[in-house]
Chain A
């Protein structure tokens, strides 16, 4: 239990740090590299640096809103049942 929590924390930390390094390298550093360098093969086209985070953000926000809506609906139902 305790170890599992720590493992989850470590995985979260590792994931966010690697994501940040990859994104930084992609957005900030690749424009300074020559366009025929092999490093460009590791990164998708530059438009996706905006498209993917935007889609991810919209999806996340929608899921949060759906969750809030479901919770509100449920609490309203249980309240009307008890009243």
Chain B
């Protein structure tokens, strides 16, 4: 629950700051051209961040191919061992 309050406080602060910027007069014209775009800019930035994190996670996703081959060998070995003791594991999962 603490995390929710922290997030809410941050978002409220940002919104209040943005509203203050929006209603304040005497800003340079370049800045007043940017200020109305800030909320959608934040949304776009957040979306880009999420997409980049997904892409990066997909890029560096750890795989262990040698262990996978060893596991398959172990499974085959265990099947042979169990079959020699009269246990059929191939058809029991149906």
| B16–chain A nearest beta-carbon distance, Å | 21
Proximity bits, B44-74, A CB within 8 Å = 1, else 0: 1101110110111111110101000000000
The verdict on B41 contacting chain A, using a C-beta distance below 8 Å, is yes
Interface of B (DSSP majority class): helix
Q: Is the CB of B51 within 8 A of A15?
A: yes
Q: How many residues of B contact A (CB 8 A)?
A: 25
B52 near A13 with CB under 8 A, answer yes
Which of B's residues lie within 8 Å of A, judged by CB? 30-31, 33-34, 37, 40-41, 43-45, 47-49, 51-52, 54-61, 63, 65
Interface residues of A (CB under 8 A from B): 2, 5-6, 8-17, 19-20, 23-24, 27-28, 31-32, 46, 49-50, 53-54, 57
